[in-house]
Homo-oligomer: A and B are copies of this chain.
Amino acid sequence: MSAPADDLDLIGRHTAQRASVVRALIDHGGFVGAQTLHDVLKARGSRVGLNTVYRTLAALLDADRADVVHDRGGERLFRYRPSAEHRHYLVCRACDLSTAVDADVIETWAEHLARTSGFAEVEHTVELTGLCPQCCGS
């Protein structure tokens, strides 16, 4: 079981609202939209404002404790990141199941590109989607 308190230290003051947002994000286990997370919290009885959800997620991103991808509708989906290390994910387009993938190749390539392109402060985003074994069979 994770300890949201550790994460809260990274994103500001300890409040019940932020704790419940972080807990809900962790419990969800995969990528989830801010509005969906808000709905989940409401269903749980947590009276948390939508903008608090947004701000908490933004703070987690700032602290490198969350990853973000764009879904096809332009909505941003967030996923909790237990460690502070950079990660990439393969997400199922049908059920949203997401799995972290080994992307050392990408990191190496990105570093090489940073050195040879003349560009500074090179950052990269990699989004992988597909149909998971469960979904491509059905």
Contact = CB atoms under 8 A, between A and B. Distances in A.
A125 B89 CA distance: 11
Interface residues of A, number: 33
Interface of A: 70, 74, 76, 90, 92-93, 99, 101, 103, 105-106, 109-110, 113-114, 117-133, 136
Given A117-B130, A123-B129, A126-B126, 13 more contacts: A74-B74, A90-B119, A106-B106, A119-B131, A119-B132, A119-B136, A120-B131, A120-B136, A121-B130, A122-B129, A122-B130, A124-B126, A124-B129
Q: Tell me how many chains of this kind the complex includes.
A: 2
Contacts of A92: 119
A103 B114 CA distance: 13
